[in-house]
Structure 1
Amino acid sequence: MSTILAKKISFAYTLPIMNNIEQKYAEFILNEELRIEGGEKLTINANEETIAFAHLLAHMAAEKTGVNVQIVFIDHGKVESVDEIEPDFQEKASGKVCMLHLASFPSFSPLNDENKELSAKELGEYRVISEPVIAGRRVAVPWAICYVPTPAWAEFVFGPGATTDSLWLLLSDILKLDSEDNSLRMQHQILKNRCAKLNNANITQLILKSNSCDLKLDINQELHLATTSTMLSSGRLFYPTAPCEEVIIPLSKHSGSGKFITTYPFRLFDRVFSSAEVSIENGKVVSFKVEDGTTHITKYLSIDEESKCLSELILCDGYTPSSKLEVSTGIPMLDRMRTTSLVLGGITPDTLQAESDEDIDKTIINNSFVRLELPLGSKDLSIQGITEFGEIIDIMEDGIILF
């Protein structure tokens, strides 16, 4: 182990007790997201900015499970060290494992040139890269990705001079860390029931209407509805991300029309835009207007042919803790929980029914390399589904999902 790394880890051990919110966040990750069990071995991936929180969480996990917790320190994409945290009293290992990635807000360069070719690494840093569509990619063990507040993230969200305290308070609010009612125990069943009811209704088309939205969208029948909450074949439940509020409805990339105005700030590359006016025809963006953002829009829409095409509607209730956020966090997995959003670009792989690469190749999907989620939900949004027999089913009214 390098001298520099040894100092980092030593410093992590000598940190004073973290504040109450950090402690509760660690408990929430272990108890509600991972739902960690006795005897289960946890592996935590951390970087320089998240290593201190990793040690806090690892010590808590070791005492909860009774077995060693592994911290993998990663620097610039390379494993620099592996550290074992032991519990005070060792219990018998169950042989089960789970994984946690503690992420930090990535650094990025300003986007000043719409003609600049962006690498996959840069697209990832800008948080516009879509997930790869690979057969058999599903991880068969519980896992989660959790962001840890950092100064760079605080300044992106709240402006120059902002501290991480603001982000800790934001996480506390949207995860209800100070409430006794912050359990995710029933959320999986609620979301699965919503998916099942929509699937069973055989809906082929969606009609969205509000003061700022008028859209007609066709559902992609080759894919299925999905949500973030996950239950393995063993019955083991976990939440890869939190909050967890969404139902993902796959859309046809070849049809769908209308227009809408975004209702929340959204991030595109290095900037946050307060509002955009978007028009769709035949499943493609034909107009995308934002104030002082021509470079960003032109760049995104030109990355590949399908970056401008529809892929999903992310259905979210309009009355959740996240819906009260008046900012963009810059992190798609957090921003999408604020409200219902329309997605351009790559699909969510969990909506795939195909089990092999050959089956995937036969499935008509949006296979764009990038992805942009545009918030359009509001307190007056209504959504109706049209079945293959012409029956009308109310899905949302005044921003509230009706089942």
Structure 2
Amino acid sequence: MNKNYSDKLNELVLTKGVCLKKGEKLCINTSPSCYSYAQAMAKRAYELGAKYVIININDGDLDSFRTLVQDSDEVSFVPDFYRYNAMERAKDSYVNVRLDSNEDRIGQTQGDSDKLAKLNMSFRKAGKVASDRYMSNELAWCVSCVPGPKWAKQLLGENATEDDLANVLGKILLFDNENYLSAWDEFDKKVKERREKLNSLNIVKLHYKSSITDFTISLTSDAHFEGGASICDDGKVFFPNLPTEELFTTPDMYSADGYITTTRPVNVLGQPTKAITFTFKEGRVVDVKAEEGLEIIKKYLAIDEGASRIGEVALVDNNSPISKTNLIFNSILIDENASCHIALGAGYPECISGSSSAKTDEELHELKINTSLMHTDFMVGSSDLTITATTSDNKEVVIMENGSFTL
């Protein structure tokens, strides 16, 4: 473990990411190789006054292995304690942190795609009572990243070390600033300024056009862009993602048409995918092609009705600090903040004015907010991407050209 990185990450995630308050309970989700970072964060949380900290270990390799030795009925089994864990976290308002790393995905067992889809669906159903509270920003949550030796070699070369990767990630997290916590406050101000420019346009439709994409999607009159820090129902300010570069909104779930192609790899249900082209009609994926991972994508789309519809569109400047590294991190958290992206699955109610009282799927659908057990980001930004917005008064405004904001 890189202690300097860990110490700075703990302060950033706990004081800015989830804005931990004395007496609050915290859940940290991570993978086996990242436990030392999670443990250090838990210790710091106790020093800051946390009442209780639980560390949940998610072992993707073991899950994949399970699908190879169990039949379909066995692999969908979820123990009651997992459900009770989610129920208690929701009831007792645990703030939630996920520490992401590509470390455990490197060399991961290649599981059975049908069974992996079933396993993921079973566990997401069991945890839905908690995930719904986080998705709707009723509770603070934050996803951030930690380095590892295997990930360092994959990303930076055979001679690279965990410390080398910590330096790269640290710059992305603004750790090279003497007062990096204040630097995030300044960053958030700039994000909000661009967000207000976008929202002032009253956008009703977005048209994405590049050499591999020709796609439109509509926004309802109640939709608005969010980005940077978010606000809980109780007024707490928190950062859902660290790092973050995106301005995102929740589109009309019934409106996507045309085709859009991914430009960065992404793991779906624990399996790699690359160069996926989704074709949409009336909001739903009606055809899919892929250079890699076609079968797992088909399994993903079949998990539930919402998995084949869009819950989020996000705009990211091609000149973001992450993009300028020219690295493919193989981490959705980081790669999504290097590129414009869409998410197939659940939408964010926070982006729709007046949605706070909508709790059921039916109520959310009335507001044209997609619902699903899933939410997976697919990067679609490129240096030749142009995005044209149609405003409520029927004007067309180019908001991104050659992958960069014009605002």
TM-score interval, smaller chain: 0.7 to 0.9
1:188–1:230 contact (8 Å) kept in structure 2: no
User: How high is the TM-score relative to the length of structure 2?
Assistant: 0.71
What's the CA shift string for 1:5-60, capped at 9, x where partnerless?
xxxxxxxxxxxx954333333343355535678xx456544577655435544666
**2:46 and 2:123 mapped to 1: Cα distance?**
36
Report what 1:7 is aligned to: none
CA 1:220–1:134 in structure 2 vs 1: closer, same or farther (change >3 Å)? farther
- Say which is worse superposed, 162-171 or 350-359, in terms of deviation: 162-171
Residue 119 of structure 1 aligns to a residue whose secondary structure is helix
Shift of 1:222: 4.5
The reply on whether 1:146 has 2:130 as its aligned counterpart is no
**1:30 and 1:135 mapped to 2: Cα distance?**
16
Report what 1:5 is aligned to: none
Report what 2:4 is aligned to: 20
Shift of 1:315: 0.9
Shift of 1:268: 1.4
Report what 1:389 is aligned to: 393
**1:368 and 1:102 mapped to 2: Cα distance?**
20
2:25–2:50 contact (8 Å) kept in structure 1: yes
The reply on whether 1:326 has 2:310 as its aligned counterpart is no
Shift of 1:235: 6.6
Report what 2:264 is aligned to: 264
**1:110 and 1:296 mapped to 2: Cα distance?**
11
Greater C-alpha radius of gyration: 1
1:201–1:387 contact (8 Å) kept in structure 2: yes
Shift of 1:62: 7.2
**1:204 and 1:392 mapped to 2: Cα distance?**
10
Report what 2:371 is aligned to: 367
Report what 1:72 is aligned to: 53
Q: 1:101 aligns with which of 97, 102, 105?
A: 97
Amino acid aligned to 2:382: S
Number of matched pairs: 360
CA 1:283–1:362 in structure 2 vs 1: closer, same or farther (change >3 Å)? closer
Residue 343 of structure 1 aligns to a residue whose secondary structure is strand
Report what 2:63 is aligned to: none
Residue 194 of structure 1 aligns to a residue whose secondary structure is helix
Shift of 1:304: 1.8
1:135–1:360 contact (8 Å) kept in structure 2: no
CA 1:310–1:99 in structure 2 vs 1: closer, same or farther (change >3 Å)? closer
The reply on whether 1:197 has 2:185 as its aligned counterpart is no
Amino acid aligned to 2:395: E
Shift of 1:121: 6.3
1:54–1:102 contact (8 Å) kept in structure 2: no
**2:273 and 2:134 mapped to 1: Cα distance?**
35
The reply on whether 1:351 has 2:335 as its aligned counterpart is no
2:342–2:377 contact (8 Å) kept in structure 1: yes
1:103–1:145 contact (8 Å) kept in structure 2: yes
Residue 350 of structure 2 aligns to a residue whose secondary structure is helix
Q: 1:168 aligns with which of 140, 155, 166?
A: 166
CA 1:155–1:281 in structure 2 vs 1: closer, same or farther (change >3 Å)? farther
**2:39 and 2:133 mapped to 1: Cα distance?**
33
What value does the CA root-mean-square deviation take over the aligned residues? Answer: 4.1
1:249–1:314 contact (8 Å) kept in structure 2: yes
User: How high is the TM-score relative to the length of structure 1?
Assistant: 0.72
1:131–1:346 contact (8 Å) kept in structure 2: no
Report what 2:338 is aligned to: 338
**2:338 and 2:8 mapped to 1: Cα distance?**
22
**1:305 and 1:192 mapped to 2: Cα distance?**
33
What's the CA shift string for 1:110-151, capped at 9, x where partnerless?
3424377613466659xxx998556995346x5534344457
- Say which is worse superposed, 109-118 or 273-282, in terms of deviation: 109-118
**1:172 and 1:102 mapped to 2: Cα distance?**
17
CA 1:173–1:288 in structure 2 vs 1: closer, same or farther (change >3 Å)? farther
Report what 2:86 is aligned to: none
1:227–1:246 contact (8 Å) kept in structure 2: yes
Between Structure 1 and Structure 2, which shows a larger proportion of helix residues?
A: 2
1:54–1:71 contact (8 Å) kept in structure 2: no
Amino acid aligned to 2:370: N
1:236-247 aligned at under 5 Å gives the runs 237-247=237-247
Residue 303 of structure 1 aligns to a residue whose secondary structure is coil
The reply on whether 1:315 has 2:318 as its aligned counterpart is no
What's the CA shift string for 1:338-395, capped at 9, x where partnerless?
2101222221242243222365363222112223322111223221211132212221
CA 1:171–1:315 in structure 2 vs 1: closer, same or farther (change >3 Å)? same
CA 1:237–1:250 in structure 2 vs 1: closer, same or farther (change >3 Å)? closer
Amino acid aligned to 1:251: P
Gaps of 5+ in 1: 1-16, 80-96
Shift of 1:242: 0.6
1:248–1:312 contact (8 Å) kept in structure 2: yes
**1:207 and 1:130 mapped to 2: Cα distance?**
35
The reply on whether 1:250 has 2:254 as its aligned counterpart is no
What's the CA shift string for 1:279-301, capped at 9, x where partnerless?
22322223321134232122112
The percentage of aligned residue pairs carrying the same residue is 24
